[in-house]
Each structure stands twice: as C-alpha cells, then as structure tokens.
Amino acid sequence: MGNVAVIGSQWGDEGKGKIVDWLSSRADVVVRFQGGHNAGHTLVIDGVEYKLSLLPSGIVRGGKLSIIGNGVVVDPWHLLKEIDGIRAKGIEVNPANLMLAENATLILPVHQAADRALEAAREDAKAGSKIGTTGRGIGPAYEDKVARRAIRVCDLQHPEMLKEKIERLMLHHNALLKGLGADTIDPDKVYDDLMQISGSILQYAGVVWKRLEEARVKGERVLFEGAQGIMLDVDHGTYPYVTSSNTVSASAASGSGVGPRSVNYVLGITKAYTTRVGTGPFPTEQQNDVGEYMGQRGKEFGTVTGRKRRCGWFDAVLVRQAVKVGGIDGIALTKLDVLDGLDELKVCVGYELNGERIQHYPASQLHQAAVKPIYETLAGWKESTRGARSWADLPAAAVKYVRRIEELIEAPVTLLSTSPEREDTILMQDPFLAA
C-alpha cells in the first residue's frame, strides 16, 4: 500500500475537494503541493458546507496531519483568516495538525496589486485579452520565486534580513507599478504588517521534507492534493490562459520534497462534462440551453470569485491527453447526476483543424482556438442518479456513458460521485490499495 496523488484533469473545479476529503479517511497525512488561494474547494459533510482555498481538504477530518508544501504560494493573511473561518465551524487547527513548509513562498499585497495592474494592462492593450485570473497574486508571486527575489516563510525568523529583502523586492515592484500607472506601495508598511503576523505564521512552520521522510519510514499513508487542473498547467495547458504552476502529478514530488517514486497512484478527478472559469479556448463549450442546464444543475459558480463557470460537453481528447501527461492511473468521475434528464449526450472524440482530423489538443494558441470538435452522440437517461451509492442503482444509459468515457480516455473510472455529499460516492477500486 502506498501514496496517492489527486489532480484535476480538466480546467479545475472537477470536485477535487470532495474526493480528497472522502479519501483522506484512509490517509495519515494530506499535502498541498502547488497553487495557492486561487483554488476553491467546496466540501459538504452532513449538510454542512466547508469552503477551503489554501488549507488541505484533509483538515476537516480529525486525527491527521495537513501540510502546505514548498510548491504552494502562501498569502499569510489569508491563511490566518481561513484558519479562523474553519475554527468557527468547529474544526480544530493547531501546530499539531497543520504544518507549513519553511521554504514556501509568500504572497504579499504587492502581488495582488501587480496581478490587477497586469490584467488591466492586457485589457487596455487589446479588449478580451486578459487571462481572467483570480486576482490573488498567484502569477506575480511565482514570478518572484523563479526570479530568486521572493520572501519565504523562513525569512520571517530574521527581521533585519527581512527588511532588506523587502526593500529590494519593492524597488523592483514599485518601478513596475509606476510604469503600469498603479499606486506604489511603501516597503516599511509591508515590513510592519508582516512582522505583526510573523509569530502566528511561524508557529506552523516546519521541515516538511523531513516529516515526509519520517512518514515513509513509519509506513504512513500520504495523500497529495493538487489544485487547478491539467489544462491550467503552465506547460501542458492552454498557455497563456493558464495558472502559473505545474498542476501535473510530477509536481507532488517537487512541491513537497519527496522523490518521484513516493507517488504510487495518480487519481485524476474528472467532471462528467466540462467547465472553465476565466478566458481562453474551450472547444466543447455550449453557450446555449445545454450549457445553461449544466450550469444551473451543477451550481457552476466559482468558489473564489463567484464568476459563472462556462459549461460544455465532455471532451475525451483533452482528458485522454491529461491522462498521459499527468500519469493518471484511474479516474474519479464526478457530477454524473448533473446530466440527468438530458435526451442525448455528446462526447468529443477528435478535432478538425484546417480540414484534417487530429487526435490531440495542439499547443499553438491559434490552433487551440481554431479546432472544431468532432462529436459522438450517446443516449441520455431520465432517471435520477443523484445520491446513487452503488453501480446497480445507475440506469443502463448512464453505465454506458461511463464505460464509453473509460474507453475513450484510456483509463478506468475507479470512483464515481453522484452528489456534493461526502458519502454519495461509489467505489470501484480503492486507490490506496492499488497504490
């Protein structure tokens, strides 16, 4: 029995939070390894809704350790707010069940200012060209990390050095903000604000790679929790309409400090149709009654920004590609119940590009926008699948739909989710036993 990584296989919001919460009953440690509070994960447990952005979704189960790995960009003020929010719902959070990697990068208010100013500049340059980011400073924070000027959690221990680092960082950013016509930010204020919360943050700081090595030696089970989805991966997604981290399963290792062999099973979370928030190509998008039907039934509004999610048919070409580049072993298919009542269902099985049929999603921005989906039509079902807890409860047409998806994406459906509730989940194969 080994460790499992959970990743999104589309454009995010596939239902990762629900599945991680469900699987975490089998895990000892749950680790976030990339992204930041751009993620929005909704969990429903006995009718109570929990919304998480930065905290690992395992936090709502007692008796296990939640870790925020080095690959995550952490807004420290947001982290403290989220901890307060979840405590108010009766969940215990303390240094015994939450650890923050000492080498994680911090998101500062300047990153949010830069995020907003850069989006406005893109839109000014050409209407409709903004990425539609969550505005949470994710991109600018990752830029600083790669440029080797970021402030990290461990820097909070050294006030003198921190002050110097902030001054250097703000020299860079204030020049940029000025150039973009935005207000500059006083480095002294950034320093003072950070010093006010440094103690509250440092109490969670720890050496994550060492704790994970301990887990390996003790035979503890680790669940790696991805955010976003493969089509938002900075290399493999719909660049430049992506997020600024690698969302593929390989990041689980680098984003937490373990070797690649520590991830023994990759579970891809996949919605039974497709959604996307923000700008960018979406070949199977349905800007019509079908898209509205999916959006209404699936309550497709963003957790983080409240934006309406764009909806469309299942794209098997795109998910097959995600299965390959993400090394996905099995799929958790979610929100099948949303499709109840449709007369027929379409699934994209190939694209047409410049009069030719292709079987993969090309990298070129122009080609990604130009591909036309080729559909296969399957029968819908009238019965309700909502809340189904066994394969036998599903109508024959729904079973056929799932089986056809498995064939097309070349991966087995090992879990099926039929409502937002934790327990409305059908298990075909336990990922931890397969790991």
Q: Are 200 and 156 in contact (CB under 8 A)?
A: no
Q: Are 312 and 272 in contact (CB under 8 A)?
A: no
Smallest gap from Cβ 173 to ligand GDP, in A, equals: 29
Integer Cα distance of 89 and 321 in angstroms: 39
C-alpha span between 14 and 105 (Å, rounded)? 26
Nearest to 226 by CA among 1, 9, 391: 9
Q: Does 249 bind ligand IMO (CB under 6 A)?
A: no
Q: Is 312 annotated to bind ligand?
A: no
Residue list 320-339, contact with ligand GDP (CB under 6 A): 334-335, 337-338
Burial per residue of 66-100, b for 16 or more beta-carbon CB atoms within 10 angstroms, e otherwise: bbbbbbbbbbbbbbeebbebbeeeebebeeebbbb
CB of 309 to ligand GDP, least distance (A): 9
| 248 scored as a contact of ligand IMO (CB under 6 A) | no
Out of 40, 280, 283, 298, which residue is the one contacting Mg ion (CB under 5 A)?
A: 40
Which of the ranges 176-184, 222-230, 315-323, 394-402 carries the binding residues for ligand IMO, by CB under 6 A?
A: 222-230
Could you say whether residue 231 binds ligand GDP (CB under 6 A)? Answer: no
Task: State how far the Cα of 223 lies from the Cα of 31, in Å rounded to an integer.
Answer: 6
Residue 238 marked in a binding site: no
DSSP 3-state of 237? coil
* Burial of 216 from C-beta contacts in 10 A (0-12 / 13-18 / 19+): middle
Contact status: 394 vs ligand GDP (CB under 6 A): no
Q: Which of 244, 262, 270, 425 binds ligand IMO (CB under 6 A)?
A: 244
Q: Is 47 annotated as a binding residue?
A: no
Could you tell me the smallest distance in angstroms from the CB atom of residue 340 to ligand GDP? 10
For residue 176, the tally of other CB atoms under 10 A from its CB is 16
Among 6, 9, 11, 13, binds Mg ion (CB under 5 A): 13
Residue 417 marked ligand-binding: yes
Active site residues: 13, 41, 145
Work out which of 3, 9, 57, 133 binds ligand IMO, going by CB under 6 A.
Answer: 133
Residues in 266-295 at the binding interface with ligand GDP, rule: CB under 6 A: none
Nearest to 30 by CA among 67, 70, 2: 67
| C-beta separation of 409 from 331 below 8 A | yes
| Contact code string over 2-41 relative to ligand IMO, x by CB under 6 A | ------x--xxx------------------------xxxx
Short-list 110, 113, 98, 28, CA closest to 68 = 98
Q: Which chain residues interact with Mg ion by CB under 5 A? A: 13, 40
For ligand GDP, the binding residues (CB under 6 A) are 8, 12-18, 40-42, 44, 298-299, 303, 334-335, 337-338, 417-420
Binding site for ligand IMO (CB under 6 A): 8, 11-13, 38-41, 131-134, 136, 138-139, 227-229, 232, 243-244, 277-278
